[in-house]
């Protein structure tokens, strides 16, 4: 979480909670964690855990720490795609 109500997760949260819709999950996170904007990113193909904080983490409202792979290796391409999505579609507070 960035301290301003935004949090990141992989989309694995959806199949792990089949009894809930994405909107219901968002509501639960808002109620119990104060998350106003819950961004779900594509899972990485080689990561069996799918914990987003193993690959990128919001440090504050303007700073994202991320892993780096050599070009085209392992989860690097999907990490880059997820990062591009964030940079092009998500505004900071």
pLDDT in tens, 3-53: 889 999 999 999 999 999 999 999 999 999 999 999 999 998 888 887 888
Asked if residues 46 and 79 have their Cβ atoms less than 8 Å apart, the reply is no
Please say whether the beta carbons of 44 and 75 come within 8 A: yes
pLDDT at residue 17, rounded to an integer: 96
Domains of the chain by residue range: 6-89
Token pair, residue 89, equals 């579609």
Q: Tell me: pLDDT of 66 over 90.
A: no
pLDDT tens for each residue of 68-92: 877 777 888 888 899 999 999 998 8
Instruction: Please choose, from the candidates 67, 11, 1, 62, the residue with its C-alpha nearest in 3D space to the C-alpha of residue 37.
Output: 1
Q: What was the pLDDT predicted at 92?
A: 85
Specify the pTM: 0.83
* Surface-to-core class of residue 77, CB atoms within 10 Å of its CB (0-12 exposed, 13-18 middle, 19+ buried): middle
């Amino acid at each position: 979480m960035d301290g301003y109500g935004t949090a990141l997760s992989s989309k694995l949260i959806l199949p792990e909670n089949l009894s809930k819709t994405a909107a219901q999950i968002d509501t639960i996170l808002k109620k119990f964690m104060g998350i106003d904007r819950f961004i779900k990113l594509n899972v990485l193909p080689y990561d069996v855990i799918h914990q987003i904080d193993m690959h990128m983490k919001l440090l504050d409202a303007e700073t994202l720490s991320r892993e780096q792979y050599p070009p085209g290796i392992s989860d690097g391409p999907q990490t880059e795609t997820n990062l591009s999505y964030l940079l092009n579609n998500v505004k900071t507070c």
